[in-house]
A and B are shown apart, each in its own frame.
Chain A
Amino acid sequence: MSVNEEFRPKIVAFCCNWCSYAGADLAGSSRLAYPADVKIIRVPCSCRVNPMFILRAFEKGADGVILCGCHPGDCHYSTGNYYARRRMTLLFSMLDFMGVENGRTRVEWVSAAEGVKFSTVMNDFVEKIRSLGENVRLGDLRCKN
């Protein structure tokens, strides 16, 4: 299947305030480009992300959702990212079962010093979503134009 160049995916990135959001800031101040399809939502910790938020994003037409937090062991709140990791493992396998492929969901650990990693991860993720195409499962037609 050839990749449709015109397809602009909707991608939601949840970033924890202490590491990944700061990593995204560093990517910005280092002018490390990644596609504009990625929109970041700031949360205090990756453990604040309720699986419901991710389901809602897919329901509303997101094509991919990525959750970024501090590296394991480095959580600002000590243990938050461990909870996030476990929850997402379960959620992603359930989503896969429901037809939202595993490639559309991802968890990445990006520290405040890893601007380069942030940009690389986002480029890679967008590339993956573009190759998967539009997300049709969980898209609530009533909410879409």
Chain B
Amino acid sequence: MQRIGVFVCHCGSNIAATVDVHKVVELARLEPGVVHAEDYQYMCSEAGQAKIGAAIKEHQLTGLVVCSCSPRMHEATFRKCAQKYGLNPYMVEIANIREHCSWIHKDMQEATEKAVILARAAIAKVNLNTPLQAGESRVTKRALVIGGGIAGIQTALDIADAGYEVDIVEKTPSIGGRMSQLDKTFPTLDCSACILTPKMVDAAGHEKIKIYTYSEVEKVSGFVGDFTVDIRKKARSVDADKCTGCGVCQEKCPSKKTLSEFNRGLGTRSAIYTPFAQAIPNVPVIDRDACIKFKTGKCGVCEKVCQAGAINYAQQDEIITEKYGAIVVATGFDTIKLDKYDEYAYSQSKDVITSLELERVMNAAGPTKGHLERLSDGKAPKEIVFIQCVGSRCSDDRGKPYCSKICCMYTAKHAMLIRDKYPDVNVTVFYIDVRTPGKNFDEFYRRAVEEYGVNYIKGQVGKVAPQPDGSLLVQGVDLLDNKQIKMKADMVVLATAIEPNQGVRNIATMLTASIDTNNFLTEAHPKLRPVESPTAGVFLSGVCQGPKDIPETVSQAGAAAVKVIGLLAKDKLTTNPCTAKADELLCNGCSNCAKVCPYGAITYETCLVNDHGIREERRIAKVNNALCQGCGACTVTCPSGAMDLQGFSNKQLLAEVDAICR
């Protein structure tokens, strides 16, 4: 029989305001096995833990039930506490009477009754707990960063500077990401390329960093400390070791009509191309869908002009298999498609563009060499309208329910830059709210309004109608003056909502990392573990976790790097001891469990079994504790009930069911 201590936490007033903690203590004392019960204001505090320690000693406790917040919050805390005072950490169970009780119920009697039942279930379970020993697994001291934008680059640099090897996998032909497409950055207006390209060069030259561009993660197996990853290195058709990056092939390539992805389709590129001049690596890629040689077999100009002999039409995709201890997801974002927003005439007029397209237009290396001009006729615009929240903060399924966070600031930036360079151009911004929480952000926005005379109108635009004279009629509403507005514009810029990059769901599935309904990766705890995925060994960096600007992305990238470094600095990790175990007397060696095991953790061995005095050789399931992750699929599949999960055994779960239904 266990000697159980029950500890009921007030959590200040979080629990005690709705749950009569004294009543819980009083009723818990009546439960079988309970020899001690007490309550305290903050069980997780040092004083609270000391109380637990004292009780363990005084009452020779063998099991603990802590009635407190979610085990996802403090199970680890109380397990450590138990260990500190000489108890096996797996002899602790948590009754979640905060998130699952006091926070959602208002009626004290009802909440108290429920808390008592939850405590009862935990007591019934702990009565059946057995001490478990955590095993050890090794750590591969190498990290993988998926995505080569500013988030991935910064994370990789920070990890590499600490002395660990890092690989970056980037699906496009160059690292740099979205930031490389930007012209200037808020709130300081320094040029994006000037602050990004040195980092790209640092990453490329770092002895601890290996960059796989034009590559994608194809398969992930293993677990924290010991992931095995297959990387598909797509065929560039150019030998990277021979290429000198002279650029002659791109100049001479006769197929020049492909829309440039880097310029958001506003310009064209050749079939053999580097996305932009500062690309890293400076090795072009042949786009096989556009290349005449690949389409018709005739051409081969690039091969002829290449002095280095680097062109290799026969190159094949290559699969590289590497081992990693930690994986950082830094897959970034894209803007949403605007096909559901016909009212803004994006598909009808070339002069309606997204903000990211405007970045390219304003960039000196962009399709217009940095001249602000209408893309339809090349004329200089006199009247520009910006429309905010296109697809952001949207309550229907056309757009996204969240705020994209960066649009208010970049629109202020665009407006300011245009007014600065072209003072005779009128700039009008239609907005729902202007959101500028950030260091020097509101000052920046006010400068746009006060110094640069940008005309901000609170209200939405209902329609943008292209006119026969080539102008655009913008119909909107001014909410503050309560009047309809009809104005002619030469250009309309849409602050399009951002969304996580296509393909992130696939990556999340490979990593078994949680993802939310908007395709943002979920953090292990929204406040206390914001850069970790709930999946151990997987970390989050940048917009893949939620909308954020460059300074925030860089901060998060550094935070993710620190978490990775903390992990790689360990030689061994303790493994979860809640693994499956086969009862050799019941197992009949049928192989059903091995078939459902997602980790291949179950094998069969012929063992000598002593079954009630009869000694015989039998084929019996053996679980590899290093591989078993403790899902429990095998326990239900087992027809003879031989397989059980330690820490969540059949008996323990049935005891909980019984306690709840009593």
Binding site for B on A (CB under 8 A): 10, 12, 17-19, 21-22, 24-25, 27-29, 31-34, 36, 39-45, 47-53, 56-57, 60-62, 70, 73-80, 83, 87, 111-114, 119
Contacts and interface: CB of A to CB of B under 8 A. Distances in A.
B105 interface: yes
16 contacts: A19-B514, A21-B72, A28-B100, A28-B101, A31-B103, A33-B105, A44-B630, A47-B632, A48-B636, A49-B636, A50-B635, A52-B650, A57-B661, A75-B512, A76-B514, A77-B633
Interface in B505-522: 508-509, 512, 514-517, 522
Contacts of A111: 514-517, 522
Interface stretch (B114-122, B197-205, B327-335, B492-500): B114-122
Contacts of B96: 25, 40, 42
B534 A18 contact: yes
A74 B508 contact: yes
B633 A45 contact: yes
A53 B654 contact: yes
B575 interface: no
Nearest to A39: B660
Contact of B650 (A21, A40, A50): A50
Interface range, B side:
35 or more
A43 B653 contact: yes
A43 B636 CA distance: 13
- Interface class of chain B by DSSP: helix
B565 to A, nearest CB: 25
Nearest to A22: B72
Contacts of B100: 24-25, 28, 40
Given A39-B660, A78-B512, A47 B636 contact: yes
Contacts of B98: 28
Given A18-B514, A32-B104, A80 B633 contact: yes
A72 to B, nearest CB: 11
A50 B641 CA distance: 10
Given A50-B653, A60-B658, A111-B517, 7 more contacts: A36-B110, A42-B96, A48-B645, A50-B635, A112-B514, A112-B516, A114-B517
B498 to A, nearest CB: 18
Nearest to A11: B660
Contact of B660 (A10, A33, A76): A10
A56 B645 CA distance: 18
A48 B631 contact: yes
Interface in B159-189: none
A35 B113 CA distance: 12
A45 B70 contact: no
Contact of B658 (A19, A56, A74): A56
Q: Which 10 A-B pairs have the closest CB atoms?
A: A28-B99, A48-B632, A113-B516, A60-B661, A77-B631, A45-B631, A47-B633, A28-B103, A36-B114, A25-B99
A109 to B, nearest CB: 11
Contacts of A77: 512, 598, 629, 631, 633
A26 to B, nearest CB: 8
B111 A36 contact: yes
Q: Which of B98, B118, B657 has the most CB of A within 10 A?
A: B657
With a 10 A CB-CB cut-off, give which of A19, A41, A53 has the most chain B CB atoms: A41
Contacts of B103: 28-29, 31
Contacts of B508: 74
Contacts of B516: 111-114
B306 interface: no
B578 interface: yes
Interface string B57-81: 0000000000000111100000000
A141 to B, nearest CB: 14
A124 to B, nearest CB: 15
Given A18-B534, A39-B117, A73-B509, A79 B635 contact: no
Nearest to B636: A50
Interface in B616-645: 629-633, 635-637, 645
B572 interface: no
B661 to A, nearest CB: 4
B446 interface: no
Contacts of A34: 104
A115 to B, nearest CB: 10
A57 B632 contact: no
B596 interface: yes
A44 B534 contact: no
Contact of A33 (B104, B522, B629, B631): B104
